[in-house]
A = this chain, B = another copy of it.
Amino acid sequence: MTEGSFSRYRQVADRLRAAIARGDVQPGQQLPSEDTLAAEYGLHRTTINKAVRLLAAEGLVDMEHGRGSRVREQRPLIHTSASYVTSAGGAERAQWSSEVQRQGFTGTQDVRSVEVETPPAEVAGLLGLDDDEQVVVRRRTMLADGEPIQLADSYYPASLANGTELAEHARMAGGTIAALERLGVRFRRFHERIRVRVPTREEAGLLGLSPGQQVIQYTRVAYDAEDRPVEVTDHVMTADRNVLTYDLPAFL
């Protein structure tokens, strides 16, 4: 008995959810219009809208103004978060495209911008910078099968990154960690923080989020051999399509 719903809009949501789970409506396919559903269920469109919004917040459907609601691709993307750590000896550090390809997606990447700026206070704090110090910011969008699924913004102290490939508007081979190693940086440790929050309007636009959807913000700070922070990377990803995993030994 999946039925334990009270309100009509929840019942409608339950039935639509079940239809999606059964595969009656395939990912990419459009849901019937709200008017159609209203007639079908004998309810007012307002009620239907509330039901569809619920599914949108859950990440099941994608509502687009003027175009209708489509069923989202459900398969999650799994991030082996400490992949850059587990690869011993610095041999082959994990990259976006290969990580994603292994899971059956086509992984691409878009460098949105590379700029020198004054960092947000939080980043400045993590990098241990003074108020007037600047950073190089690399803003990238990671895509899976052409759909934006993650934003990755990396910050480097300008004193370190200026004049290097980090400050150039081009993709970097092997990811940012590998690029830093090419610059002679040796890593000692990483600090990671994961939290969930509401996206900013900009993030919602870049990731194509429906109203009510949340994001996972995954921040990584990399420390060099002298234990000084050399990189802060902020990953913002859709909460429902991304899973993070860790493999840890019992003792470090």
Contact = CB atoms under 8 A, between A and B. Distances in A.
B189 A240 contact: no
A251 B190 CA distance: 10
Given A85-B249, A214-B214, A252-B88, A244 B58 contact: no
A198 B250 CA distance: 31
- Which of A4, A186, A246 has the most chain B CB atoms closer than 10 A to its own CB? A246
Interface string A64-97: 0000000000001000011001101110000000
Interface of A: 4, 57-58, 76, 81-82, 85-86, 88-90, 186-198, 201, 212, 214, 216, 239-240, 242-252
Contacts of A194: 194, 243-246
Nearest to A46: B46
B245 A192 contact: yes
Closest 7 CB pairs of A and B: A187-B250, A196-B239, A192-B246, A194-B244, A195-B243, A190-B248, A193-B245
Contacts of A252: 82, 85-86, 88, 249, 252
Contacts of A248: 82, 85, 189-192
Contacts of A250: 85, 186-190
A239 to B, nearest CB: 4
A244 B189 contact: no
A216 to B, nearest CB: 6
A247 B195 contact: no
